[in-house]
């Protein structure tokens, strides 16, 4: 199954008429992607492993059957709502294609090569990004993860049970982590910085996700005088503006991109507005300062409208500098590859706290991501596969 054939199989899964993807953890499209992963692994006689956290692994074991000091690659198969085709899947398809390339060249690994598909990387269903890799790495308390709820109020624990898994078993998998010698994730670039087909990551900027709950008083839109209203939409709207102003002041990024209005009716003043804030910055305190300023503005606006507001941190990841030794080794294999930071979060950013980790990027000529315009040219995708194969060849050689 060539890269193109694998890509053609995945492409229609969970895609809407506008070309955006809706592959949320344990929903039918993502389950179809999981089935695709297992099918591709079986086709290559790779050994399947499922950890207790919902992550999938396909292992190419060395002749002696060893499972130690593995070279893990892969990425994720889930998407943001209306996301692009490449964010995640490009790393997984390229991993299978790189294994095919190595096998065609008669390569025999001296240590295991694994392909991972980490669960809920976007956090689009349960709200916390990289949920699967955070659980594996011990970067989120299992109790908190069990209680995370999706938009329909279903808990992560209930969803795991519905898919035959035991929520009491989620959490750090020290045995599996001990078997991973290093992790190298290939990912489509999510900006305009990469002007060559393939690049190597230096770091991930700090980023975090917060939840704002504005609680007012639901009431009739046609009979409630303005002076009698406690409408949560007002402080919400003021906070959206405040987010942009705080970001500009701190040279950071701040986005309020997901909102839930309850009830969501034309002729009803809502009782509650929940908004999610995403903030990123080149340095740690840019993000923290931005969020503090937004919190102050939200509280002032809420108070002025008789509305209560709560600001809660969902996840925060400090700046991640990838393993320099591993990066230098990649650059020996790929001497022409530029080195660049990424503003996007990745499972590699979470695993970097536990195992030597590096990332490869494939050029995205549109610079757009998390939207249908996200793109990588076929030649650049194949250059990515060649680069990944060369890196795996080097890392898994005896
Ligand atoms: O949100 C991110 O930065 C990543 O695409 N999950
Ligand atoms: Mn198939
Ligand atoms: Mn993403
Ligand atoms: Mn991604």
What is the SS3 string spanning 261-295?
A: EECCCCCEECCEEEEEEEEECCCHHHHHHHHHHHH
Ion ligand 3 — residues with CB < 5 Å? 87
As beta bridge partners, residue 358 has: 184
pLDDT tens-digit readout, 334-391? 999 999 999 999 999 999 999 999 999 999 999 999 999 999 999 999 999 999 999 9
**CA gap 200, 222 in Å, rounded:** 58
Res 296: pLDDT = 98
**Tokens of residue 215, six digits:** 């609680």
Report domain extents, the chain. Answer: 3-205+319-395, 207-317
Q: Where are the alpha helices (DSSP H) in the chain?
A: 3-10, 28-43, 89-104, 131-137, 142-147, 156-162, 174-179, 233-250, 284-304, 324-333, 347-351, 378-395
130 CA: nearest ligand 1 atom: 6
Q: Give 43's DSSP letter.
A: H
pLDDT tens-digit readout, 198-222? 999 999 999 999 999 999 999 999 9
**CA gap 130, 351 in Å, rounded:** 10
**Tokens of residue 209, six digits:** 């996700």
Res 379: pLDDT = 98
122 CA: nearest ligand 1 atom: 6
Best residue for ligand 1 mutational test, from 119, 255, 281, 344 (most atoms within 8 Å of Cβ): 344
Omega into 263 within 30° of 0, i.e. cis?
A: yes
Mention the CATH class of domain 207-317: alpha beta
Q: What is the mean pLDDT of residues 32-58?
A: 98
Q: Work out the pLDDT band at 191, boundaries 50, 70, 90.
A: very high
ipTM for the complex? 0.90
Structural contact between residues 140 and 85, judged by C-beta atoms closer than 8 angstroms: no
The superfamily (CATH) of domain 3-205+319-395 is Zn peptidases (3.40.630.10)
Structural contact between residues 321 and 202, judged by C-beta atoms closer than 8 angstroms: yes
pLDDT exceeds 90 at position 1: no
**Tokens of residue 46, six digits:** 């790779």
Best residue for ligand 1 mutational test, from 122, 127, 128, 130 (most atoms within 8 Å of Cβ): 122
Q: How confident is the prediction for the chain on average, in pLDDT?
A: 97
123 CA: nearest ligand 1 atom: 6
* Backbone angles phi and psi of 131, in degrees to 5: -60, -45
- For ligand 1, atom 4, the nearest C-alpha belongs to 345
Q: Which residues line ligand 1 (CB under 6 A)?
A: 87, 121-122, 129, 344-345
Best residue for ligand 1 mutational test, from 24, 25, 80, 279 (most atoms within 8 Å of Cβ): 80
**Tokens of residue 48, six digits:** 């399947």
**CA gap 113, 166 in Å, rounded:** 27
Residue count (the chain): 398
């Amino acid at each position: 199954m060539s890269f193109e054939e694998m890509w053609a199989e995945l492409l229609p899964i969970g895609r809407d008429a506008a070309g955006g993807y809706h592959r949320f953890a344990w929903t039918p499209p993502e389950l179809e992607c999981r089935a695709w992963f297992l099918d591709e692994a079986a086709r290559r006689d790779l050994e399947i492993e499922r950890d207790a956290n919902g992550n999938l692994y396909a292992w190419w074991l060395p002749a002696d059957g060893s499972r130690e000091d593995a070279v893990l690659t892969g990425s994720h198969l889930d998407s943001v709502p209306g996301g692009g085709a490449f964010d995640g899947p490009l790393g997984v398809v390229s991993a299978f294609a790189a294994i095919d390339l190595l096998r065609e060249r008669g390569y025999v690994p001296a240590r295991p090569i694994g392909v991972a598909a980490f669960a809920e990387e976007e956090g689009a269903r349960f709200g916390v990004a990289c949920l699967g890799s955070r659980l594996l790495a011990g970067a989120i308390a299992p109790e908190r993860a069990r209680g995370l709820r999706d938009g329909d109020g279903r808990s992560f624990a209930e969803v795991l049970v519905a898919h035959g898994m035991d929520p009491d078993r989620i959490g750090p998998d020290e045995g599996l982590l001990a078997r991973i010698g290093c992790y190298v994730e290939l990912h489509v670039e999510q900006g305009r910085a990469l002007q060559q087909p393939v690049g190597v990551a230096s770091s991930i900027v700090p980023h975090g996700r917060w939840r704002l709950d504005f609680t007012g008083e639901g009431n009739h839109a046609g009979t409630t005088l303005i002076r009698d209203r406690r409408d949560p939409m007002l402080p919400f709207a003021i906070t959206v503006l405040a987010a942009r102003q705080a970001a500009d002041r701190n040279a950071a990024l701040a986005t309020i991109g997901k909102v839930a209005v309850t009830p969501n009716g034309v002729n009803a003043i809502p009782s509650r507005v929940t908004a999610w804030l995403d903030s990123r910055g080149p340095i740690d305190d840019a993000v923290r300062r931005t969020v503090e300023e937004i919190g102050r503005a939200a509280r002032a606006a809420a108070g002025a409208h008789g509305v209560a507001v709560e600001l809660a941190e969902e996840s925060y990841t400090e700046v991640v500098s990838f393993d320099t030794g591993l990066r230098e080794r990649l650059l020996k294999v790929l001497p022409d590859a530029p080195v660049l930071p990424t503003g996007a979060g990745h499972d590699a950013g979470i695993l970097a706290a536990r195992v030597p980790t590096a990332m490869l990027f494939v050029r995205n000529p549109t610079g757009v991501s998390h939207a249908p315009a996200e793109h990588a040219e076929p030649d650049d995708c194949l250059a990515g596969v060649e680069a990944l194969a060369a890196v795996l060849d080097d890392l898994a050689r005896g």
